[in-house]
Every structure is written in C-alpha cells, then in structure tokens.
A and B are shown apart, each in its own frame.
Chain A
C-alpha cells in the first residue's frame, strides 16, 4: 500500500469553504425554487460561477488545465451541492471533461471557463447503466439514442459514450435531435436522437470507470440531500406539538428516525470507503464494487428519507410551499439517475463472480 498524503483533507476543507458561492449558507432554497422549470432547468450565470471556482475541472488532469483532485474531494463537493439541491448539472460536466481529457483531446478552454456547456451523454436505456449502449457507430456516423442527459437542454456540446470510445458532438450537429423531458424537481432530462450524425470517434481507455466515478459523486449528492432533509425533519419533530408534546417524543417516530440515521451512516461509510480505495488505487475491482453498493445505498436512503420526511411532516409535507417537498421531489428524480437499483445489483453480482473466477 502506498503511503498516503493527507492533502485531500485540506482540499476538502477548502472546497467546503468555497461552497457558499453557490449554496446559500443560511439554507435558503429560494433560487432553487424559482429555477424550477425555467429555461433549461438551471441557471447559466450560476454555471459561470461554478466554472470559475474550478469545480468542473476537479477531476481533469492538471496537464489539461484541470485541478487533478481525487474522488474524496469530488464527493465532498457533490455533497455540498446536494445539501443545497443545486440543479446545475455539475457531475455531468465533470464526467464530460474527464472523458475528453482521457481520450487525449485536451480539455476545451471554453468548457473549463463555462463559456461553453459540455455535458456527458452516457446512458443508453432507462433501466441500465451500460455506457456503451444506445448509440452505434459505422462509417463515422452515429445512430441511435442517448437518454437522461441532466441539464441537456442547456448544453452546447455533448460527449457521447460508445462501445468504441467517445464522440464530441455539438448540439446543432446535423442529424441530432435534442428533446427535453421536464422532471418533477423542475430540471429537464434530454433525449438525444442520432440519425447519421457525422462524428470523430476517439478511443477512451477507462470510460466505464469514469462513468462509475460519476455514480459515486452522484451517490454523495443523494446522501447529502437526504442528510439535509433529515435535519429539517428532525427540527420539525422537535418543534411540532400534538397531544401537548413534541411529536419527536413518540417512540414510533424515534425508531423510524434512527433507521434513517443508520441508512445515512451506511451510505456515508460506503461512499467514503469507495473514494478512499479509488484515490489510493487499492484493489480497483473491489473499489468498483464499492461504488455500485454506495450508489445503491444512497438511492435507497434518498427514497426512504423522502417518504419519511413527508409522512413525519404530515399534511404540510404534502404542500408545494414547504421546502421539504423540494427535497422529496429531488430525491424521487435523482434516485433514478447515474444508476438503477436492479442494474446496480446485477453489476455487483457479475463483478463478484468475475472476482471469484479470477481467484
């Protein structure tokens, strides 16, 4: 095992300290609320701020103008974004830059500065996480479909994952049709239909791993939005009185609250372990499996927290006016992105069998 520099701890502290530029420190969700359904579902001005902070280039090699930071830093950042329900598709952009950089195409300056919005189109089907699925290439032309590109209506460039590598495709490329599906959290997922779209295909070693890294970042986003929703719910349990006592005094609610806490701590531990293993390059196979279960845990946590948060708030939790609903909608939508439960278990099981065969 290599000796580990502790730089990441300091990096995480700096990143967390800088989050205030985008996530209001007082917990206000006014911007998030007003952004819903507007434009592409996120704010171009905020995007520029995010780019200026260097967050998009977090995982891009330093040679390509990035920060070259580890996954523990990346997950800490995404956790901060999750707490604030930030709708900007940061993870997709980090992935897009990582793919382009790994394919040897450098990192486009405009994408680093935020002038151009470059996002990853990796998912082929709604219920699987195979980045090679959906679009085929022959004679330099792309055909097929990519789905669930978060924030995709606001993108200028798509980085499309293929069995052969990646293709960088502008939004106005002839033969490409971009359509949006509004989601319940006020964001839009784009569907990209390719009909003989001319594109250069670049080999991209490690593509599947990079997508899984994005899954881990998204797991951190889910974990943190759940944690914030849980905090708000606990405050409510302490404050709301019925039968002359705070409802948080009732054992039935206390025990359910501890279950959320348990799932939260399991998610945090799994995400932490996966990040550590990847950053230290310990047993890559086991590290990938750790991502799959961390992502699975975080999705389950988000859904559990969302439904308990609504139930524990009672009728007020079912109104659009209460902020807890923003978390519930975000959880419902986000728990289905960057990983789908049945498929995560299928992949985990397959990787386990591979491992057994190899040993």
Chain B
C-alpha cells in the first residue's frame, strides 16, 4: 500500500448534527450539496471503476472527521441518523457530483447488523474502529459452489476450546485486498437443514491461515478477491448473534437496500452519456436512433415512478412487499440495454479501452460495468424466482 499523507485512525471533530430528518427535503439537499462542494478532496470523480483504498482514503478521512461516514446509523453511535428518504437524497447528490464510492461494507453492511444484533462490547469495539477507518471490512458470502444458492455454502467453522477453526474458501469479495477484516457466513452444523446450520463470524485478515488472491475482472480491474481459510483460529467471541443463527440474521439485514439497489441512478447517468455520444457521433437527429432513444427515456421515467412508489412505502413505513425485486430486475436490464445502445452508437470505436482521464464517455467500460448488475445482489434469474413464488404465489 502506498503511503499517503492521511492514514487512519481518523477522529471525528465536528459540531453535533442537527435533526436532518426534520429539514424540508430541498433544504437538506442544499446542505448536502454544500457539504460535497466544500469537502470533496482532490481525487477522481465520475469513474465507472471502484477506487482502491489508497486512492479513496482522503474522502474516507473527510467523512470520518465530519461525522458523515455512516449516514443511517443513529447519531448517538456516530452516524447521521438519516431516514430512508433523506438517505436517498444524500446518495443522489453524491452521484450527481460523481463522488467516488468509498469502502462502505463496514458502514452499510456490518454496522447496521451489529447495531441490531451485536453485543454492547462488539458495538463499542467495531463501530468505533469503522468510524476511525482502522477497520476496513469485506463481505465473505459467496463461494465457488455457492453463488445464487448461497445457503449451500461449505466453508466450515468447528469449535475447538475457546476458538472456532475455519476452513474453506470465499470468493467475489469486492475490494477484499484492501480490507483488514472480513465477515464470513460459515457452516457450524452439518446435521440440519442447510439454512439452519450457518453462523456469522468476524475474521481478521491478518490471522494465520488467511490467504488473499486478487481476481482481474472483464474491465481489467482487480476489484474482486478470493480468500482462502486454512485452519484459521478465531476467538469464540467473534460471532454475531446466535450460533447457527447467521442465515436469518443476514437476511433480516436487507432493509431499504432492497429498494435502493433498484434506484434508477445508473440508468439515468448512462442515458445522459448515451445522448452525449449520439450528439458527438451525429446521430442525435436520426429518427431511427431517436425512436430507440425515446423508448429508453420512457422506460427510465416509468422506472423512476415505480422506484418512487417503493420510496414512498419506506417513508410511510408501509410494508415493502415481496415484489420489490422487480425494481432491481428492471433497473439492471435497462442499464444493460442503454449500454448496448452506447456501444452501437459509438460504432467501430465502441470497444476502445480508455484511461481514467478519458473514461467519462467510456462505451465499452459502461457495457462491461453493466454486466454484473444482473448477477450480484441476487441474479435476475433468482430474483424472478423469488417474485414468482413470494409475490405471484406460484408453486415451488
């Protein structure tokens, strides 16, 4: 890791937060805009790829010092206490400015889980270290043999005195090489139904027996890793919730992320770039192209309306419903159709491999970046299975 002039631990150094949820939306939006314009460090914006830790660290530092790192955590625990509506505005403004996404598994995934299910000691220890940037977390869910069928996971933790002994392999770990901690779903009982024998373990990446290997993706970036566990010994207390209670807990964790993962932002930003490319290539006024573009534009607007209906449910506390998966299906498929159109409009040079400096209208990069959106976070096929059974009540 290259040295930068900012390194953890970062300490919060700010006035108490106001009650953001009480602000009118427009006022809060202005606050967010001002915050970004004032604080965004001199690092790249509007990139399709994820920045590595040494690149994004200055932004993490700013968010940590100002208390903006964990938007949804309660203020008493170092968060901003935002409700879903305000959180959405925050995300929208970050996206509009093109803010780099920092390493947020700790604040988005683990933090809320610990707040809901962790012991006081776990909260005191881990939440503090997430906020200070001392712990950068990775998520160890998928395995080579357990992707869509996650509950088939085989990584195993056996009790040995005061320790768990962990053996197995996790994969598709986003930015795993930058993390010093990983949470792992591991099998702790093989004698029961597969979902019932899974526990949620907290594992230091420096522990003896942990090996990390980077995986280069189709875009040419090493965002993914695989992690091997070879007789890794973990203190018995490094478990969240009950032994064998990990599966239900991991599922309960999916709150408004189930809605936000279907937000139309990716498609909206891609459509704006498609327009720019079409103008550059001189096809904007071609009626054949415009008809196709108009269809995409209408699809995006309809998706935005559908997204709003779910956000409204979050705002009013109404049940989200089993059909929420439709949002992600729709968003990711639309994003892919737009990226397809970008590639076509850019013609013979659509496949050009661009650098960060020229990447804003990267057609091939967008096409590639759109691929995993129908795979991660529940593949389109699994999401359709779920909607068919849970929402349409079709037989299993």
**B-binding residues in A (CB < 8 A):** 234, 237-238, 245-246, 248-249, 251, 253-255, 257-258, 261-262, 265-267, 269-270, 272-273, 289-290, 292-294, 296-297, 342, 345-346, 348-349, 352
Contact = CB atoms under 8 A, between A and B. Distances in A.
Contacts of B391: 261
A292 B306 CA distance: 16
A337 to B, nearest CB: 19
Chain A interface SS verdict (over half): helix
- Greatest chain B CB density within 10 A among A251, A289, A293, A346 is at A293
A349 B294 contact: yes
Interface in B347-395: 381, 384-385, 387-389, 391-395
Interface of B: 290-291, 293-295, 297-298, 301-303, 305-306, 308-309, 323, 326, 329-330, 381, 384-385, 387-389, 391-396
B290 A349 contact: yes
Contacts of B306: 265-266, 269-270
- Greatest chain A CB density within 10 A among B393, B395, B396 is at B395
23 contacts: A234-B392, A237-B394, A249-B396, A253-B394, A254-B385, A255-B384, A258-B326, A258-B329, A262-B326, A266-B306, A266-B330, A267-B302, A270-B301, A270-B302, A273-B308, A289-B301, A292-B298, A293-B301, A294-B302, A297-B302, A342-B291, A348-B297, A349-B294
- Greatest chain B CB density within 10 A among A249, A253, A265, A273 is at A265
Nearest to A289: B301
Nearest to A290: B301
A258 B395 CA distance: 13
B395 A269 contact: no
A56 B289 CA distance: 42
A293 to B, nearest CB: 4
Given A254-B385, A290-B301, A345-B294, A238 B309 contact: no
Given A257-B394, A273-B305, 13 more contacts: A238-B395, A248-B394, A254-B384, A258-B384, A261-B392, A267-B302, A270-B301, A272-B309, A273-B308, A293-B301, A342-B291, A345-B298, A346-B291
Contact of A348 (B294, B309, B392): B294
A342 B294 CA distance: 10
B295 A345 contact: yes
Contacts of A248: 394-395
Top 7 A-B pairs, shortest CB-CB distance: A254-B388, A269-B305, A269-B306, A293-B298, A273-B305, A248-B394, A349-B294
Nearest to B300: A293
Contact of B305 (A254, A261, A270): A270
A261 B326 contact: yes
Contacts of B392: 234, 254, 257-258, 261
Contacts of B295: 345
A251 B395 contact: no
A263 to B, nearest CB: 9
Contacts of B305: 266, 269-270, 272-273, 290
Contacts of A289: 301
A132 B103 CA distance: 58
Contacts of A352: 294, 297
Nearest to B391: A261
B369 to A, nearest CB: 23
A255 B306 CA distance: 20
Contacts of A245: 395
